[in-house]
Amino acid sequence: MATNAQISDAPATRAGAESPTGLIERMAREGRAAQRVLATMPDETKAQALRLAAGRLRADAEIVLAANALDVAAGEKAGLSGAMLDRLRLDEARLSAIADAVEQVASLPDPVGQVIDRSTPSNGLELSRVRVPIGLIGIIYESRPNVTADAAALCVRAGNAAILRGGSEAVNSNRAIHAALAAGLEEGGVPRQTVQLVPTQDRAAVGAMLAAAGLIDMIVPRGGKSLVARVQADARVPVLAHLDGIVHIFAHHAADPAKAAAVVLNAKMRRTGICGAMETLLIDATYPDPHGLVTPLLDVGCEVRGDRRAQAIDPRILPASAEDWDTEYLDAILSVAVVDGLDAALEHVELHSSGHTDAILTEDAQVAARFLSEVDSAIVMHNASTQFADGGEFGLGAEIGIATGRLHARGPVALEGLTTYKWLARGTGQTRA
Amino acid sequence: MATNAQISDAPATRAGAESPTGLIERMAREGRAAQRVLATMPDETKAQALRLAAGRLRADAEIVLAANALDVAAGEKAGLSGAMLDRLRLDEARLSAIADAVEQVASLPDPVGQVIDRSTPSNGLELSRVRVPIGLIGIIYESRPNVTADAAALCVRAGNAAILRGGSEAVNSNRAIHAALAAGLEEGGVPRQTVQLVPTQDRAAVGAMLAAAGLIDMIVPRGGKSLVARVQADARVPVLAHLDGIVHIFAHHAADPAKAAAVVLNAKMRRTGICGAMETLLIDATYPDPHGLVTPLLDVGCEVRGDRRAQAIDPRILPASAEDWDTEYLDAILSVAVVDGLDAALEHVELHSSGHTDAILTEDAQVAARFLSEVDSAIVMHNASTQFADGGEFGLGAEIGIATGRLHARGPVALEGLTTYKWLARGTGQTRA
C-alpha cells in the first residue's frame, strides 16, 4: 500500500498532508459514526431525507450540468470514445431521471427491521432474525455519474453509510451530484458523513479502500472488467460483483420457433453492451428452423461466429475460434454452436458460462425443468430474453449491481443485499442446563 | 505460497511429489466434480448415505478408538494440557454421540430446492429464488476429532463437497473417522471425493487452501483464536468465523434480582470455555442487589476483576486493568463494571463487544427493546443466559460455527448458511422493450 503517494486534487481544507490510507481510515471512521446514527432513525426520516436529496438534485440542475459540461469537454479533449462520452454526458432529462430514481428508492419498503423468521425452540426462547444494515459500503465506479446518486440512495435506504469513489473522467459531475445529495440528506436530518465522496483521484485511495478490512464492510465495484478484476484481486474487504456475463441461450428442438427467434434477436440486439446480453447461442442439432434464429441477426448487422456445424446455416457466419466461447463481446457479435441435445448444451454451459445468466427456449416442461435445475448460474431463465437480468425488471426497484459470487447475495442485488441480520432471543430468565 | 515444501506424511500412492498447492488444487477439482454429482441427487439419497456413514462409524468403533489411542498417547508424550487431551480423547460414548450427530443431521430437512420467495413483476416473468449448495467448503480445525464428522455431515446434507484439514494432534483419529464416513457415503451412492481429508500435516497445505480462491468457495476455521486470526488474515477465499466472544450481560436496575442472579451465574460458570460464556458483567449503578450477582460467582471460585465502583461490592474483587474490557477469558474469570444506566451500558458494549452475543436483564420492556434494537451483535438476548448462543439451542439441529462477520450468515450457521440461491425466471417468450 502506497501510504505516502502524492494526493493530486484533494481539497486543501480536508486532506492536506493526509496519506491516502489515512484519508480513507478517517473517512471510514466518520462514515461508521454517521451510520450508527442513521441506524436508529425511523423509516420515514430516511425516506424523507432521500426525497429532499432528490429535490436538491433538481434544484441544483444548472450547477450539476455545468460541472458535467467541464467533464465532457475534458473528455473530448482527452479523446474519450463516443460510447464513453455518452455514458458521461448529462442533460436535463438524464438528470431528472437520476432524481426520479432517488425518489423511487425512497418509496421502496425499508428492509431494516424486517423479521426474516421466528421460532421458539424447546428451551422456550423466542427467537427471531431481524434485518439490520451492513454498515459502511464502498462503491468504486467508472464514468457513469448516475452511480453517485443510485448507489448513495440504495445504501441510505438500507441504513448504510457509503464511501463513493468515482472515475476521474466524471470528477466534476460526481462532486456536484454528491454536494446536492449530501445537502438534501443533511436537510432531512441524516448525518452529513453518511455519504462521502473520496476527494482525490489518487489511485492509492482505491488501494486503501480495498485494504480497509474491518473499516469498510463491503465493496461494490461498478464498471468494466479491468476495474472489477483489480478490485477482486486486491480487496481484503468482501466484494460483491460480477466479472463478466458470458450469457448463453440454448434453443432446444422443442422450442416454439417464432417465440425463439424473437427472444434470440432481443437478447442479443436490444442493447449489446449490457451484462445480460446473450453472447453465445447454442442451437439443438435437431432444431427445426436454425435459419430463423440466425438470419435476422445477420440481417441487422450482427457478426456471427460459428462452429463448423453452425457455419453451415448461413454463408455469412465466420469461423469461431476457441476463445470465442469464453468471450463477453458486449457488442453486436455472437458465437453460435450446434449441440446434440440438452446434455451437450448443459456441458457447454458448465464449461463456458460465467455464472451470470443462462436461458433455455423450449416448450418441453421436463427439459426446461432439468435446465433450470442443473445450470448453476445466478439467474437461469426459461422462454425469456436474458436482457431481463436486471434488478428493476426483477421488481427490486433498483439494483446496486449483479453478483456472481456464491456468498451473501447472488444475481441482482438491491436493498436486501445491503442488509445483514441479527438474532434476537427473548427469554424469561432461562438458564442452560 | 511455499510450493515446494516437503510433504511430511502424505500417503505415497496419492501425493507422491505433489506440492501442497498442487495437492489442494487437485483435491479441489475432484471435490468440485463430486459436488456436481451430489447436487443432482435426490434428498433421500443424501440422507440415507449419511445414515450409512453413521452406521459405518459405529461398526468401525474399534478401529477409530485404536487410532484415537495413538493420538492420545502421542499427545501425552508431547505434554499436551489436560484440557487439550480431553478434547482429543474419544471413548465409546463419545464416538456414539458423534454417530448420533451425523444421524441427526441426516434427519434435518434438506435446504436445497427450498423456495425463498416468488414474485411476478410487471413483465410477466414468474420469478423465484431457490436454495442451492454453495459448492466446495474448506474446514480447517484443531484437536477435536468430532469436527471431522460434524462438518462433513452438514456439508453433505446441504449438497456441498468438503475438504477437511484437521490438527496434527488428531491425525490418526481424523483419518479413521474420515475413512469410515467416506466408506458409508460411498455405499450410499455419494461420490467418494465429496468429503476429502487433506493427507498431509504440512502447514503449506493450509496456506494453499486459504489461497484457493475460485476453487474453494468458503473456508470455516474451527479452533482457537490464533488459528482463526491466521485464517482471517491470510485467506483469499471467503471465511465464515468468529475471532472471539467478548460477551456482555447488562443487569439493568429493573431486572428481577433472583432471575438475574441465576442467569449471571449460569452465563459465566456453566461452561467457561465456550464462546457464549459471559466475559463482562455490567451492573447498573442503581441495581438493587449487586451482591446477589457477584457473591455467588466469588463463592464458586470465579475470579472477579472490577472497576473502582465494582470493587466496592466485595473486597474479594480485584482491580481490572484497561485490557480486561477487551479480553475473552474462556476461564473462571469475569470483569465487572458499574455503569450509569442503559446509555452507559450501550456505550460500553459498542466499545468492547466482539459482536458475538450480548444480553440485557430487565423487566422493563421498553429498555429491553432499546437494547435489542441498538446493540449490533450477531445475537442479542433479553433475560436469558448467553450460554444459549448455539445452533443446537437455536433449533438449527447443528452448527458449522458461529459467525460474527456481516456478510452471508451471522450468528449460528447451519444448513441454510451452507447454501446460496439462484434466481429462476420462467417466461412465455417475453422480450424486453
**Residue of A379, A385, A422 with shortest CB distance to B379:** A422
ipTM exceeds 0.85, yes or no: yes
Cβ A425–B380 below 8 Å, yes or no? yes
Q: What is the pLDDT of residue A83?
A: 84
Residue A407's identity, in one-letter code, is L
Say whether B426 and A383 touch across the interface (CB within 8 A): yes
Same domain? For B179 and B268 the reply is: no
As a whole number of angstroms, the longest Cα–Cα distance in chain B is: 79
pLDDT reported for residue B2: 34
The cell 475471532 sits on which residue? B243
List Cβ neighbours of B214 (8 Å cut-off, separation of 6 or more): none
Cα separation, A168 vs A4, in Å, equals 20
pLDDT attached to residue B16: 56
Q: Which residue has the cell 434494537?
A: B373
Is the residue at A159 inside a domain? yes
Q: Same domain for A81 and A198?
A: yes
Whether residues B160 and B291 fall in one domain? no
Q: What is the pLDDT of residues A314-369, one digit of tens each?
A: 999 999 999 999 999 999 999 999 999 999 999 999 999 999 999 999 999 999 99
C-alpha distance across the termini of chain B, in Å: 51
Phi/psi at B257 (nearest 5 deg)? Answer: -60, -35
Judge whether A224 lies within some domain.
yes
Mutation target among B346, B366, B424, B428 for the A interface, most CBs of A within 10 A = B424
What angle is formed at CA B255 by the lines to CA B251 and CA B256, rounded to 5 degrees?
Answer: 130
Are B354 and B284 contained in the same domain?
yes
- Nearest by CB: B427 against A121, A382, A405: A382
What residues contact B25, with CB distance under 8 A and at least 6 apart?
B208, B212, B215
Query: What is the residue whose three cell numbers read 465429496?
Result: B194
Q: Is there a domain that residue B3 lies in?
A: no
Give per-residue pLDDT as tens, B316-336: 999 999 999 999 999 999 999
Q: Which residues of chain B have pLDDT under 50?
A: 1-15
**Do B229 and B297 have their domain in common?**
no
DSSP string for residues in B125-184: -EEEEEEEE--EEEEEE-S-THHHHHHHHHHHHTT-EEEEE--GGGHHHHHHHHHHHHHH
Q: What is the CATH number of the domain that holds B146?
A: 3.40.605.10
Report if residue A2 sits inside a domain.
Answer: no
Q: Choosing among B126, B407, B408, B413, which should be mutated to test the A contact, i.e. which has the most A CBs within 10 A?
A: B407
Give every residue of chain A whose pLDDT is below 50, as ranges.
1-15
CATH number assigned to the domain comprising residue A309: 3.40.309.10
- Residues of chain B in contact with residue A125, where contact means CB-CB under 8 angstroms, are 381, 384, 388, 393-394
CB contact under 8 A, A430 and B218: no
Cross-chain Cβ contact B132/A423 below 8 Å: no
- On chain B, the residues whose CB falls within 8 A of the CB of A129 are 411
| Per-residue 3-state assignment (H helix, E strand, C coil) for B296-316 | HHHHCCCEEEECHHHHCCCCC
User: Of B234, B255, B290, which closes a domain?
Assistant: B234
Of B238, B384, B394, the CB nearest to A430: B384
Residue that is written with C-alpha cell 454528491 in the block: A178
User: Could you tell me the pTM of the whole model?
Assistant: 0.92
The confidence score (pLDDT) of residue A121 equals 92
| Kind plus residue range of the DSSP H or E element containing A222 | strand A218-222
A289 and A364 co-located in one domain: yes
Residue at which a domain ends, from B234, B259, B288: B234
Cβ–Cβ gap A266/B121 under 8 Å: no
Considering only CB atoms, A407 lies closest to which of B119, B238, B393, namely B238
Same domain, yes or no: B309 and B221: no
Same domain, B25 and B157: yes
Query: Which residues of chain A lie closer than 8 angstroms to B372, CB-CB?
Result: 424, 426
pLDDT of amino acid A12: 42
In-domain check, residue B419: no
Who's near B410: CB < 8 A, 6+ residues apart? A420, A421, A422, A423, B378, B403, B404
- In-domain check, residue B198: yes
**Furthest-apart CA pair in chain A: how many Å?**
79
- A365 contacts in chain B (CB < 8 Å): none
- Domain boundary (A208, A234, A260) is at A234
Phi, psi (rounded to 5 degrees) for B255: -70, 155
Same domain, A86 and A184: yes
What's the half-sphere exposure (Cβ side, CA atoms, 13 Å) at B381? 34
A251 found inside a domain = yes
What is the number of structural domains in chain A? 2
Is residue B90 domain-shared with residue B165, that is, in the same domain? Answer: yes
DSSP string covering A55-86, please? HHHHHTHHHHHHHHHHHHHHHHHTT--HHHHH
Q: Are residues A269 and A366 in the same domain?
A: yes
Is residue B255 in some structural domain? yes
Task: Name the minimum distance, in Å, from the CA of B367 to any CA of chain A.
Answer: 13
Residue B343: count other Cβ atoms within 10 Å of its Cβ. Answer: 11
Please check whether residues A146 and A94 belong to one and the same domain: yes
- The phi, psi pair for B160, rounded to 5°, reads -100, 155
Cα–Cα distance measured from residue B150 to residue B141, given in angstroms and rounded to the nearest whole number: 12
Range of the domain at B167: 18-234
